[in-house]
Homo-oligomer: A and B are copies of this chain.
Amino acid sequence: MKIKVALGLMLSAATLAAFAGPVEEQIKARQSAYAFLGWNTHLIKSQVSDHPETYNKEKVIAAATVMAAIAKAPLLDLYGPGTDQGTGWKPSHLKADYFQKQDEIRQINDTFAQEAAALQAVATQGEIADIKTQFGKVGAACKSCHDQIRVRD
């Protein structure tokens, strides 16, 4: 019986690993997601804060749509065992105690997805002041996660 359970667990772990890919691939995929999020964040910040004269409604909608889509993706599947170690495009910055904070992180991740969805909604409406306010809330969600789980550079 014990053997059966152990075998079952091993198979589940193997299936999960096959789905999310090897540790390096998981790290690379999540680093890619956050890097492309970063580029889109930069595009929005540039158009609503730093250079409002360049504001282009369609471009801000496109960037916010990317952010909302990535935020809703199952990014937490890319935080499998061992991904606090190893290197994707660059070494993982994940704190080792991530694995003891699952419920908290899931909550932060949900908040991030909700705030990003709200950003997409206000981008579609096109009021710069509202976009700026909501952009700040998305940034706060990013930061709350970084503070919890990311080793500082």
Contacts and interface: CB of A to CB of B under 8 A. Distances in A.
Contacts of A65: 69, 72
A141 interface: no
Copies per assembly = 2
A69 B68 CA distance: 9
Nearest to A25: B39
Interface of A: 19, 21, 25, 28-29, 31-33, 35-36, 38-40, 42-43, 46, 54, 59, 62-63, 65-66, 68-70, 72-74, 78, 89-90
A39 B29 CA distance: 6
Contact of A69 (B19, B35, B66, B90): B66
For the residues of A in contact with B, the DSSP-based class is helix
A138 to B, nearest CB: 15
Nearest to A46: B19
Counting from the closest, the 10 A-B pairs by CB-CB distance are A32-B35, A69-B69, A29-B39, A89-B89, A32-B32, A32-B36, A66-B69, A65-B69, A33-B36, A66-B73
